Amino acid sequence: MSARYGMVIDVDRCTGCGACMMACAAENNVPALPQATARTGLTPLLVRKVSNGNNGETRREAFIPIMCMHCEHDTPCVKVCPQQAVEVDEATGIVMQMAQRCLGCRYCMTACPYHARYFNWWDPAWPPGMEKSLNPGVAVRMRGVVEKCNLCHARLHSAKEKAAVAGKREIDPADYVPACVEACSTNAIHFGDLGDANDPVSKEAHSPQAFRLLARLGTEPKLYYKSNEAWVRALAEPNSPQASEVQRG
Amino acid sequence: MWKSVAWDAINEGKAMKVTRRDLLVWGAGAAAGLLATPVPWKVLDDVSIWSQNWPWIPQPTRGPVEVKQSFCTLCPKACGLRVRMANGWAVGVAGSSTHPISRGALCPLAFAAHQLNWHPQRLRNVRHGSSLSTWAEAQSAFAKASKEGPVVVIDGYSGRAASSVLETFAGKQGGSYRVVATPELRAFTPYEQWTGIPAASLGYDFENARTIVSFGAPLLDGWGTPGRLTRLWAESGAGLSDPQLRLIQIDSSLSRTAARAWQWIEIREGSESALASGLAGALLEQNLVPAHSPVPSMTLAESSAQAGLSVERIRELARLVVAKTPALVVARDDDPAIAALNVLLGSLGNRGGIVPHSEGVKPYVAAESAIGNARAVLIDASVPWEFVPQVEAEIFRFAAWDGGATKADWLLPAPGFLEDLTDLPTAPGCSAQTYGVAPALVKATIEVQSAAQFLCSLDASLPTTAKIIDSRCEDLFRRREGNLYGQQIAAIDKVSSVQSFKEQLWKGAVWAGEASLSKAFACHLKEWPAQTRPVSAETWATQWKPVVMPPLASKLYQESGLREPPRRNA
């Protein structure tokens, strides 16, 4: 099996409902702690609100889901990790974070140009009994380590197991869909193999409307965005005038 | 040299003395040396691993995982669910792509709905005033009250089998049955008054509309069955300069819907009704609609002044509305002036307009209307928590969660999410009739009763919810219309027997009838409706406010600023 899993997110379709954030947290047993804030919380997928900077009826707003970009080249977090707790999986292209190896030094958080990494400050906790509602396929999140999106790796494991039971070497693409993709009520998030030229997602990634955030850094992120609106595409580079309008969502 | 000094000292019989300085030097050396070894890093690493295994760290439940089809029962939108179960507990929720209306989409809260059953605010005991009580005492108090005078029964989700139990009880007892309608349902009230067709049997034919004009309705933010319109909007060219479906949002602020709509028309807060009158005037003035329609008493200039839009802008909006037809106007609430625009545009009973989907639906009596004399009021768990009946009577309120201070003499614990058998009639706003059954997938960990079960236990002659569902399934099967959406889509005449039909429904399949697009109905306005109260500005929780939020919802408003925090219940 060799794939380069990635996404194309159609920004024009995103309504900022937050279903992807909720589905991500529920799937990955991310706790909601009363003391967590926007600075200290754990949101492996975060939807940010952006605007074109105008006022009145000409003002436009859009929502951009931000998560680990799964950089393919010179992956910044991999380069700085002293523990080899981060690596790019050769077979899938997924940037993996191994919580058991992580020291919590947070170099990777500093290195990540997308601010897509979060430090887990607290032991996971739920109201009594609520642990029965946790996903049995995923461990609870450890305290003291850095967390990020792993493209719902547990689902990839399940798909592999299913394929193995059926005596197949390759997984059925329908069996491996990350939770955010499944949850999107407007089908704005498209997931697939960017390495397969025939995959619809790969074709979409090469459309004129597609763009990547901070592409000039040369880290080859595997998360693409797409928009018909020029002001949204202009946000891809931070020096554009519109980018200064970006608000934390 | 040092060797000889030490040797000399030993020879001289002096014991080697360890000084404080030696200890400090040794300690500093050891600390520096340790840093050059992997020990501290390994210890830190191990502590990190151990901390995952402390006995107080919660662990997920274990057991074989299976997926069951069901429906979300949190609100009357009736979205299809795929529920992942492990060891008898729901451990994950996702949308069911086979559902013909919700099409795999859910609102954000539904993804954590399975956690609500363990919410700290779960109502666990019968409460009488500020003290704990028992089911037996509650039953005896209710039985006594119902003998002494009329009982008003209030429902928040009409049309269910349980609603039928509540209504039958109220009828037998000489009381009355009232409904707290959702804003989507209330928006049809003017048409019910003008045509006599019950509001609950009307729906919007969005699928065939080409222009939707929304007066503040949060169409892309949880309005109606969330997946229906959002998917349609997305597939109809969202973000294109000329999409197949034009969504014009008239709003006083840049709401989530306004931000993503094809056009946002900014008006002054509360001037929706005035703009509707002005828009009607502009449509008539420019001969864009048939001339025999009643003329609003408000002039275009007055409307312009109230809405904060220029007269020319209103004229331009009128041209925009009819540029791509069929055009459909959606109101946020029951504002008759906005509803009258659909009459003007000829949208009633036509493709892409407002169409009837069911027959035999009874008009509902709004819970807000005067209750009169009542000895007791029984409130079903589906009624929004903020609804408080304005009546001097003993109040028996069923609720799965305690939303804080409320006026209720008795608080009775109701089944939580997927803990009770219920059926799901057509969601408000749908253009086709649907029916589904949500069995109790998880067991309640506390002693709970629904209002229908409570009444059935008092009056054995009442039909149970299960019996009513059974007979409804049989009636639907006998009609031999529509399709069954389960693992596959099957026309109902391909289903071999009523038993098979029932079994499939109980496994989460949904029956959907055909949209009655050809059933035109007459509606003539004698005069333009008077302006009513202003509607409130949109907030994310105004459409449907759960009693409590799933803890994970804090990701949206506390751990990020994506949403505004929910308003606390008073």
- Amino acid sitting at position B434: T
Indicate yes or no: CB of A13 within 8 angstroms of CB of B226: no
Q: How far is A96 from chain B (nearest CA, A)?
A: 17
Looking at residue B567, its pLDDT comes to 65
Which contacts of B477-485 are long-range, i.e. CB under 8 A and separated by 24 or more positions?
B477/B501, B477/B502, B481/B513, B481/B514, B482/B432, B482/B433, B482/B511, B482/B512, B482/B513, B482/B514, B483/B100, B483/B511, B483/B512, B484/B509, B484/B510, B484/B511, B485/B98, B485/B99, B485/B100, B485/B509, B485/B510, B485/B511, B485/B512
Residue B86: inside a domain, yes or no?
Answer: no
- Picking from A12, A16, A25, the nearest residue to B552 by CB comes out as A25
Is B337 within 8 Å of B531 (Cβ atoms)? yes
- Picking from B54, B61, B556, the nearest residue to A21 by CB comes out as B556
Average pLDDT, chain B: 89
Ramachandran category for residue B78: left, alpha or beta (phi over 0 → left; psi -120 to 50 → alpha): left
- Picking from A29, A103, A133, the nearest residue to B45 by CB comes out as A103
Q: Is B94 on the interface with A (CB under 8 A)?
A: yes
Quick one: which H or E segment has residue B128? strand B126-128
DSSP code string of A168-199? -SSPPGGG---HHHHH-TT--EEEEETT-TTS
Q: What is the ipTM of this complex?
A: 0.94
**CATH number for the domain harbouring residue A150:** 3.30.70.20
Lowest mean pLDDT among B60-69, B416-425, B521-530: B521-530
- Picking from A15, A123, A229, the nearest residue to B256 by CB comes out as A15
Is B224 within 8 Å of B207 (Cβ atoms)? no
Question: Which parts of A20-157 are beta strand (E)?
Answer: 46-51, 61-66, 86-88, 95-97, 118-119, 146-147
Is B116 within 8 Å of B414 (Cβ atoms)? no
**Claim to verify: residue B414 and residue B456 sit in the same structural domain:** yes
Q: How far is A61 from chain B (nearest CA, A)?
A: 5
- Picking from A15, A22, A124, the nearest residue to B57 by CB comes out as A124
Maximum alpha-carbon separation in chain B: 129
- Our count of domains for chain A comes to 1
SS3 assignment for B348-405: ECCCCCEEECCCCCCCCCECCCCCCCCCEEEECCCCCCCCCCCCCCEEEEEECECCCC
Looking at residue B251, its pLDDT comes to 94
**Claim to verify: residue B432 and residue B461 sit in the same structural domain:** yes
Instruction: Please report the residues numbered 27 through 46 in chain B whose beta carbons come closer than 8 angstroms to any beta carbon of chain A.
Output: 41, 44-45
From chain B, pick out residues whose CB is under 8 angstroms from the CB of A174.
none
Q: Find out whether the peptide bond into B326 is cis, omega within 30 degrees of 0.
A: yes
Residue B146: inside a domain, yes or no?
Answer: yes
Measured between alpha carbons, how far is B380 from B265 in angstroms, rounded to an integer?
Answer: 39
Looking at residue B539, its pLDDT comes to 40
**CATH number for the domain harbouring residue B394:** 3.40.50.740
**Claim to verify: residue B472 and residue B372 sit in the same structural domain:** yes
- What are the pLDDT tens digits along chain A (249 aa)? 689 999 999 999 999 999 999 999 999 999 998 899 999 999 999 999 999 989 988 999 999 999 999 999 999 999 999 989 999 999 999 999 998 888 899 999 999 999 999 999 998 999 999 999 999 999 999 888 999 999 999 999 999 999 999 999 999 999 999 999 999 999 999 999 999 999 999 999 999 999 999 999 999 999 999 999 999 999 887 666 555 555 444
**Claim to verify: residue B172 and residue B223 sit in the same structural domain:** no
Indicate yes or no: CB of A23 within 8 angstroms of CB of B115: no
- Picking from B104, B108, B561, the nearest residue to A38 by CB comes out as B561
Q: Which domain holds residue A89?
A: 5-245
**Claim to verify: residue B217 and residue B295 sit in the same structural domain:** yes
Residue B567: inside a domain, yes or no?
Answer: no
pLDDT score of B565 more than 90? no
**Claim to verify: residue B204 and residue B353 sit in the same structural domain:** yes
| Cβ density class B73-103: b for 16+ within 10 Å, e for less | bbbbbbbbbbbbbbeebbbbbbbbebbbbbb
**Backbone φ, ψ for residue A184 (5° rounding):** -65, 120
Looking at residue B534, its pLDDT comes to 55
Q: Quickly tell me which residue has 């304005």 as its tokens.
A: B390
Q: Quickly tell me which residue has 């934390």 as its tokens.
A: A248
**Claim to verify: residue B195 and residue B340 sit in the same structural domain:** yes
**Angle separating helix axes B39-50 and B20-35, nearest 10 degrees:** 70
Measured between alpha carbons, how far is A64 from A239 in angstroms, rounded to an integer?
Answer: 18
Is B336 within 8 Å of B190 (Cβ atoms)? yes
**Claim to verify: residue B175 and residue B203 sit in the same structural domain:** no
Looking at residue B538, its pLDDT comes to 42
pLDDT score of B307 more than 50? yes
Instruction: Please report the residues numbered 442 through 501 in chain B whose beta carbons come closer than 8 angstroms to any beta carbon of chain A.
Output: 445
The pairing of beta strand B376-379 with beta strand B151-155: parallel
Is A145 within 8 Å of A104 (Cβ atoms)? yes
**Claim to verify: residue B19 and residue B44 sit in the same structural domain:** yes
From chain A, pick out residues whose CB is under 8 angstroms from the CB of B38.
none
**Backbone φ, ψ for residue B280 (5° rounding):** -65, -45
**Claim to verify: residue B269 and residue B353 sit in the same structural domain:** yes
Q: Is B58 on the interface with A (CB under 8 A)?
A: yes
C-alpha pair distances (Å), B203 with each of A34, B185, B369, B427? 41, 9, 24, 9
Residues found in chain A: 249
Q: Which band of pLDDT confidence, cut at 50, 70 and 90, is reported for residue B14? A: low
Q: Which domain holds residue B300?
A: 184-358+520-538
Best of A8, A12, A14, A17 to disrupt the B interface by mutation (most B CBs within 10 Å)? Answer: A17
Measured between alpha carbons, how far is B466 from A193 in angstroms, rounded to an integer?
Answer: 48
Measured between alpha carbons, how far is B523 from B195 in angstroms, rounded to an integer?
Answer: 6
From chain A, pick out residues whose CB is under 8 angstroms from the CB of B240.
12, 228
C-alpha pair distances (Å), B383 with each of B71, B225, B401? 18, 18, 12
**Claim to verify: residue B278 and residue B133 sit in the same structural domain:** no
- Our count of domains for chain B comes to 3
Measured between alpha carbons, how far is A223 from A75 in angstroms, rounded to an integer?
Answer: 13
Indicate yes or no: CB of B105 within 8 angstroms of CB of A19: yes
Q: At B570, list the tokens.
A: 């008073």
